[in-house]
Amino acid sequence: MKPKVLVTREVFDDVLDFLGQHFEVTANQEDRLLDAETLARQLAGKDGAVTTLTERIDQNLLSRCAKLKAVCNIAVGYNNIDVPACSTRGVMATNTPGVLDETTADFAWTLLLATARRLTEAEAWLRAGKWERWQLKQFLGRDVHHATLGIIGMGRIGQAVARRARGFDMNVLYYNRRRVAAEIEAACHATYAAKDELLARSDFVVLQVPYSPETHHLIGAAELKKMKPTAVLINVARGGVVDDAALVQALKDGTIAAAGLDVYENEPRLHPGFLELKNVVLAPHIASSSEATRHGMAMLAAKNLVAALTTGNPPNLLNPEAKSVRREG
């Protein structure tokens, strides 16, 4: 008998076909949001799951899913998964790193350019039929070329963002928990700076750090006050890295000039103050959303699940300690 698995959200047909070669698959191709109770019921009796950031995998759910051996997230981030709780119960957890780096870096630049040049504000004005003549001071924006770019989080995506800055002749600063190797700094033409120095000197600040208790509200009121009043903040990392209430206030007060956001606290709900502001560009968590990349993410998650339930060695395992717990059990 084939192992039983659940795919919690809609995925590509060929991904389901691939999983079907190995498992008995229950798939949510209607793409319904599964509340905690429904998710627990559907996972009961399953050996594995392909999940997304909309499903919370926590101790309470795991206690109701005794057969579960693997949870494979379609995302690089995994703050929806209680990894220690998975480890305690011998449940392997995986993510999908690497496949979305370049696409996410592209979108960071999409937001940066759109915000700098007030594109969404200008388009809304044009669509409203307000464009009657050319004016010298119409929608004056900020130059990106030769400006200073500050990147907080110099992992793979942060490095990809930095490499793109060469085309704009930018001065690139970065802050990271640990300074990266000299050869990476050279390849990215980036200079390490303390966080406060980066905030004070940068014309554009791009956030690219994972969400964790340590990065919760990494950018709050105090940090925003350290930025230039002409500065632009870009967040393509995770909601919760920025204190959204503090950012709304800073944008209202002119503490910083503008922001471009793809992620939010408590998404898909977002702070209503953002909708009242013209100096913020808003996107619905689509930084990795090219067809090729989202397909690659889903297929990688499926391959992780196949490996987890066959060899016990998925390539993107987040908690190797879970394997020994499962063996002991």
Residues carrying CATH 3.40.50.720, the chain: 4-99+291-328, 101-282
Question: Could you give phi then psi for residue 71, rounded to 5 degrees?
Answer: -125, 120
Q: What is the pLDDT of residues 26-55, one digit of tens each?
A: 999 999 999 999 999 999 999 999 999 999
285 catalytically annotated: yes
175's CB contacts (< 8 A; 6+ apart) are 150, 151, 152, 153, 154, 192, 193, 194, 195, 198
CATH class for the region spanning 101-282: alpha beta
Decide if 280 contacts 258 (C-beta within 8 A).
yes
* pLDDT confidence of residue 272: 97
Catalytic residue among 156, 217, 285, 326: 285
Q: Residue 260 and residue 107: Cα distance in Å, rounded?
A: 11
pTM given for the model: 0.92
CB of 92 within 8 A of CB of 68?
no
Tell me whether residue 238 is one of the annotated catalytic residues.
Answer: yes
Instruction: Encode the chain (329 residues) as per-residue pLDDT tens digits.
Output: 899 999 999 999 999 999 999 999 999 999 999 999 999 999 999 999 999 999 999 999 999 999 999 999 999 999 999 999 999 999 999 999 999 999 999 999 999 999 999 999 999 999 999 999 999 999 999 999 999 999 999 999 999 999 999 999 999 999 999 999 999 999 999 999 999 999 999 999 999 999 999 999 999 999 999 999 999 999 999 999 999 999 999 999 999 999 999 999 999 999 999 999 999 999 999 999 999 999 999 999 999 999 999 999 999 999 999 988 764 44
Each residue's pLDDT tens digit, 90-124? 999 999 999 999 999 999 999 999 999 999 999 99
Active-site annotation holder among 238, 265, 271, 294: 238
Indicate the fold that domain 4-99+291-328 takes in CATH: Rossmann fold (3.40.50)
pLDDT at 187: 97
Task: Give the pair of three-digit tokens for residue 102.
Answer: 């370049």
Residue of 10, 102, 197, 267 marked active site: 267
Distances in whole angstroms, Cα of residue 187 to Cα of each of 98, 105, 159, 181:
18, 16, 9, 10
**51, 72 Cβ separation under 8 angstroms:** yes
pLDDT at residue 214, as a whole number? 93
pLDDT value at residue 326:
61
Q: Taking Cα atoms as reference points, which of 281, 192, 241, 261 lies closest to residue 79?
A: 241
**In the chain, what's the furthest Cα-to-Cα distance?**
75
Helix (H) or strand (E) run with residue 116 in it = helix 101-116
Q: Is the peptide bond before 268 cis (omega within 30 degrees of 0)?
A: yes
